[in-house]
Amino acid sequence: MEASLLLLPLLLISLFNFNHSQAAGIAIYWGQNSQEGTLADTCNTGNYKFVNIAFLSTFGNGQTPQLNLAGHCDPTTNGCTGLSSDIKTCQGSGIKVFLSLGGGAGTYSLNSPDEATQLANYLWNSFLGGQSGNSRPLGDAVLDGIDFDIESGGSAHWDELAKALKDLGQIYLSAAPQCIIPDSHLDSAIQSGVFDYVWVQFYNNPSCQYSTGNTNNLINSWNQWINVPATKVFMGLPAAEAAAPSGGFVPADVLTSQVLPQIKESSKYGGLMLWNRFNDVQSGYSKAIIASV
């Protein structure tokens, strides 16, 4: 009994740290341009606390799940298993590595609760802590979580997928909704309260993004998003003007002097999300802002 009582505070501390240990930082998407450098190079910059490997872009509706890493490696020939060492390099530096589901150009949907459960089990055994005989497309590294960048495929069953993943083990979940409220695909999933991080895409949506000299729409939308039931909310921004054809790029000096001082007032503030690593390499955006995040 005495040993159990001694262990209980340690267990509680461990659980608290799992959910809340991350100080503010930058999340980046990697995997959609072969010219962006390696995953290890990305993590070795020291600029990021989260890296989303993008994307598992085909799944559901009876399809075999398939990665698309845009020329970094060929998952159809099991050619991406070498990423395992890069993933471990990132994790060794305290960076959390997620697999991102969906994307803007994928072919995906969930047609039933059973399909959501099947996908959760596939993700658990293929990328997370599962111990089955499944092949592991990214090698034996165990990812820290799953990111939901759901931009098509309807709105049904994403909440069931999220809950099923959380039921399987201690993993992180993140979501990348559009800034228009409610998000047309992820609203019910986010409202379920199981997401640790919500990094909102405040770009390509004129009604809730920055426009030259005007932060009002951006800040007003942020002030709504910090009310969602997630541990931390991040402001998602393009890392360069070229990253968001429909706008939303915030110049570094505007971000650091006008935007960050306001959004950091919220206890829900978790940091920034940037799309994407290739554009950040070109612009040097994260390096210019990281001291203020």
Catalytic annotation, residues: 151
282: which strand partners?
A: none
Which tokens hold the place of 235?
């402001």
Q: Could you tell me which of 208, 59, 43 has the C-alpha nearest to residue 146?
A: 59
Task: Using DSSP, state whether 243 is helix, strand or coil.
Answer: helix
Q: Could you tell me which of 154, 167, 155, 283 has the C-alpha nearest to residue 146?
A: 167
Task: Quote the distance between the C-alpha of residue 18 and its chain's center.
Answer: 16
Instruction: Name the residue type at position 75.
Output: P
Which residues neighbour 223 within 8 Å (Cβ) at sequence distance 6 or greater?
none
Is residue 218 a contact partner of residue 202, using CB atoms and an 8 Å limit? yes
